[in-house]
Amino acid sequence: MSLTINRDRLLSEIDALASYSDAEAPAVTRIVFTPTDLKARAWMKARCEEAGLTVRQDAVGNTFARWNGSDPAAPVVGTGSHIDAIPNAGKYDGVVGVLGGLEAIRALRQSGFHPKHSIELTIFTSEEPTRFGIGCLGSRLLSGTVSADAARKLTDSEGTALDEVRRNAGFRGELEEVKLPVGYYAAFVELHIEQGPLLERQQIPLGIVTKIAAPASLRVLIEGTGGHAGGVLMPDRHDALCAAAELILAIENAARTSGAVDTVATVGICEVFPGAVNSIPSRVRLGVDIRDTDLQRRGVVMHALEAACHAISEKRRVSIRSELVNADAPAECAPAIIEALSQSCRKHELNFLSMVSRAYHDSLFIARIAPVAMLFIPCRNGYSHRPDEYAAPEDIVRGALVLAETLAALSK
């Protein structure tokens, strides 16, 4: 089997998809179920149909483009990613896995390969949490990780319910119908830019993901006592922001001292009230993200956060309350898929790095119902979620080629 990835077509399609944006180039903004997103979906559907694939969409807009195999009863071999983009993002996140996956299927068809298992490209709905405050909405519903009832309670920033938004976008049916049947996938492989600097830094062309880290998200509310910046003496203060600063450093220290490089913790939101230079902060809201590949180790950091809340509350005489928003379990990638990816790399004498995905992806949730693995290509400086996100053409083509050979191996 001789495979050829059509470099020019793949790159031109990445550029074409980037033109569907609510931001000025080179930035890409494509929020789920907006008119721009719907135009991009229609464009993608047309590309899949042109490639001879059978396309269906479910009630939340997950799109499945299938190349039927010789055994219709056999479980599907899947690939794919997402095309929604956060505000002021780049054109490669998710898109490389979708258009690279489509090009991999085209290459296999052109080579004369005939799969036993159907090969299916999936475009997941709302991988980004931008509109409904929860990431990987489509794959959570597909895997049953979130229930239809829970999804129906989701609203956007204007208070409009998911059900109303999706129906207005043309996606009918009931959310209960989204969950895939048991055994739907034989395997699932996601191609993605690394979104980190390791591959480029070590000059290694490909990364094979062995584990996908998962976050626990928390909200923390700190309430102290406000007052005039000049009128309240230091011994009398109950400054909520000073307490927050101490807590932020405690969270950082807990992650740094976990004993593993895979533990990371971030306080990405700090809202200060009243927010005046001459007023003592009386209230602070924090948004906390704690990630690891090991649940027990992540739990130790979360316990350290709670202990720090208690100690700082006592010390500074402020009220501190924490609320767990979400806690997903990490995933182990399937050895058989890792081996198929590795064999393709060795065949082409390509070095690869066995690595952890510290960002989470739709594959994390598909791993609840199927064997999964991920293939990473480098991105310049590790940049992602910004307009200067960039993956080199040769890396994109190389990733699509290894993906194609892996899909072939898994679908025989």
pLDDT recorded at residue 276 = 98
Backbone φ and ψ of 354, nearest 5°: -75, 125
> Across residues 288-300, what is the average pLDDT?
96
Count of CB atoms situated within 10 Å of the CB of 251: 25
CA distance 97 to 101: 6
- CA–CA–CA angle 113, 407, 92 (5° rounding): 120
Backbone φ and ψ of 358, nearest 5°: -90, -25
Q: What does the block give as tokens for 34?
A: 């907006």
- Do residues 217 and 325 lie in contact, with contact meaning Cβ atoms separated by under 8 Å? yes
- CA–CA–CA angle 374, 378, 380 (5° rounding): 145
Per-residue pLDDT band for 1 (boundaries 50, 70, 90) equals: confident
Nearest residue to 160 via CA among 225, 383, 169: 169
Domains of the chain as residue ranges with CATH = 7-213+330-411 (3.40.630.10), 215-327 (3.30.70.360)
CA distance 212 to 329: 9
Q: Decide if pLDDT at 317 tops 80.
A: yes
Tens digit of pLDDT for each residue in 245-255? 999 999 999 99
Three-state secondary structure call for residue 290:
strand
What count of Cα atoms within 13 Å lies in the side-chain half-sphere of residue 13?
23
Alpha-carbon distance values, 220 to 192, 309, 314, 318 (Å):
33, 9, 16, 13
CB burial string 161-179: b at 16+ within 10 A, e below: ebbebbeebebeeebeebb
Task: Round the average pLDDT of the chain to a whole number and report it.
Answer: 97
Q: What residue type is 53 in one-letter code?
A: L
Q: Decide if pLDDT at 108 tops 90.
A: yes
Count of CB atoms situated within 10 Å of the CB of 249: 12
CA distance 143 to 184: 10
- Do residues 148 and 140 lie in contact, with contact meaning Cβ atoms separated by under 8 Å? no
Alpha-carbon distance values, 104 to 3, 109, 283 (Å):
9, 9, 53
| Cis preceding-peptide flag for 197 (omega within 30 of 0) | no
Query: CB under 8 Å, gap of 24 or more: what pairs does 133-136 form?
Result: 134/326, 135/360, 136/360, 136/361, 136/362, 136/364, 136/365
Q: What does the block give as tokens for 170?
A: 């043309």
- Do residues 224 and 302 lie in contact, with contact meaning Cβ atoms separated by under 8 Å? no
pTM > 0.75: yes
Q: Decide if pLDDT at 188 tops 80.
A: yes
Q: What does the block give as tokens for 33?
A: 């179920």
CA distance 267 to 290: 9
> Across residues 297-303, what is the average pLDDT?
97
CA distance 252 to 220: 15
CA distance 142 to 127: 12
pLDDT recorded at residue 300 = 97
Tens digit of pLDDT for each residue in 254-280? 999 999 999 999 999 999 999 999 999
Q: What does the block give as tokens for 299?
A: 């739990």
Three-state secondary structure call for residue 25:
coil
Three-state secondary structure call for residue 407:
helix
Tens digit of pLDDT for each residue in 396-411? 999 999 999 999 999 9
Tens digit of pLDDT for each residue in 163-175? 999 999 999 999 9
- Do residues 21 and 29 lie in contact, with contact meaning Cβ atoms separated by under 8 Å? yes
| Cis preceding-peptide flag for 75 (omega within 30 of 0) | no
Q: Which residues partner with 65 through β-bridges?
A: 55, 121
> Across residues 1-12, what is the average pLDDT?
95
Q: What does the block give as tokens for 259?
A: 């004993």
Nearest residue to 247 via CA among 294, 315, 293, 295: 315
DSSP summary character for residue 334: P
